[in-house]
Copies of this chain bind each other. A is one copy, B any other.
Amino acid sequence: METAVLKLHCRDMKGIVYNVSRYLFECGANIINAEQHAEAIDNRFFMRVYFDCAGLNRTREEFHTGLARLADEFGMETHLSFSDRRKRMAVMVSKYDHCLYDLLLRHQYGEINADFALIVSNHRTLEPVAETFGVPFFYAPVTAETKDASENKALDLFQAHRVDFIVLARYMQILSETFISRYQHRIINVHHGLLPAFKGARPYHQAYEHGVKIIGATSHYATADLDMGPIIEQQTVRVDHTHSEETLVAMGRDIERNVLSAAVKAHADDRIMVYRRRTIVFR
């Protein structure tokens, strides 16, 4: 099936659904699913339309032009993507493999509407995994001196491999603001704590020390403000006094891989919109 996703947001007013659905109808598109959301704050209206575009009665260029006209009229920010142009993702890893395996396997099962462009790592540890799954692997070591060079190498690689978005699959390095700003809301990170609690280093240790009865993991878009980017998905698991810090780490692996994969799937499906510091994740 040839489909497309249109995401838009604008000031809330009468007639948006009508005008959008009219435009799609006139163009020969068939709406499979449409979701809306109104944020009370700022009186903002969000919409995602998933439609069958096999019967489109004009070129995509013409379709884009008409949409731009509509967007102008209503002050909409729009984003359009077609299913025959699959997204390409770069995965950055260090030594932990659980998130990477989860992504590779889910991709094999057809759960992720995106493809692996390449894997970049500051260690050679996971090169064999990349090889097994046939994904190009690049080694970009990071030291205090080579950090800039390493980031630039990665950015060059992303461009050469036509990367659409980046997944930090327990990549243990802090990226520069410059790097992050190049892929705004297109870098997905996983934090091994239930943000905003337990930011920063050793969240399981913090959780253990606090004696919490629930631990969690968070996937979010990376922003310059570490661990504070818009949250995409969170999951939790119950813990108790019998669990050592090491056990928390083990239990955490399960939810880390889950929240990261959920975020990657949602991003690949164009189901996420960001407004202020919150995400709208359509289902």
Name A residues whose Cβ lies closer than 8 Å to a Cβ of B: 13-18, 21-22, 24-25, 28, 30-40, 55, 97-98, 101, 105, 109, 111, 128, 132, 194-197, 209-214, 216, 230-236, 240-242, 244, 250, 253-254, 258, 277-281, 283
19 contacts between A and B (CB under 8 A): A13-B30, A14-B30, A16-B31, A18-B18, A18-B31, A21-B21, A22-B22, A32-B38, A33-B38, A34-B36, A128-B132, A195-B212, A196-B210, A211-B231, A212-B234, A213-B231, A241-B278, A242-B283, A254-B258
Copy total for this chain: 4
**Contact yes or no, A241 B280, CB < 8 A:** yes
**Contact yes or no, B97 A105, CB < 8 A:** yes
Please give, as numbers and ranges, the residues of chain B lying within 8 Å of A231 by CB-CB distance: 210-213
Q: Given A35-B35, A214-B216: A279 and B241 within 8 A (CB)?
A: yes
**Contact yes or no, B17 A244, CB < 8 A:** no
Chain B proximity of A243: nearest CB distance (Å)? 10
Closest B residue by C-beta to A23: B18
Bound complex: CA A230 to CA B15 (Å): 35
Bound complex: CA A248 to CA B240 (Å): 21
**Contact yes or no, A17 B34, CB < 8 A:** yes
Chain B proximity of A65: nearest CB distance (Å)? 20
Chain B proximity of A27: nearest CB distance (Å)? 11
Name the residue among A210, A211, A212 with the largest chain B CB count within 10 angstroms. A211
Chain B proximity of A40: nearest CB distance (Å)? 7
Name the residue among A40, A242, A258, A280 with the largest chain B CB count within 10 angstroms. A242
Please give, as numbers and ranges, the residues of chain B lying within 8 Å of A235 by CB-CB distance: 214
Name the residue among A21, A55, A111 with the largest chain B CB count within 10 angstroms. A21
Chain B proximity of A230: nearest CB distance (Å)? 6
Bound complex: CA A213 to CA B233 (Å): 6
Chain B proximity of A212: nearest CB distance (Å)? 6
Chain B proximity of A94: nearest CB distance (Å)? 15
Bound complex: CA A232 to CA B109 (Å): 27
**Contact yes or no, B36 A33, CB < 8 A:** yes
**List of 6 A-B pairs having minimum Cβ-Cβ separation, nearest first:** A211-B278, A197-B197, A18-B25, A18-B21, A213-B234, A241-B280
Q: Given A22-B22, A196-B197, A250-B109: A211 and B37 within 8 A (CB)?
A: no
Known: A195-B210, A214-B235. 11 other contacts (CB 8 A): A14-B25, A15-B25, A16-B31, A34-B36, A195-B212, A196-B212, A197-B197, A211-B231, A213-B233, A241-B279, A241-B281
Q: A234's contact among B14, B28, B30, B214, by CB below 8 Å, is which?
A: B214
Closest B residue by C-beta to A251: B111
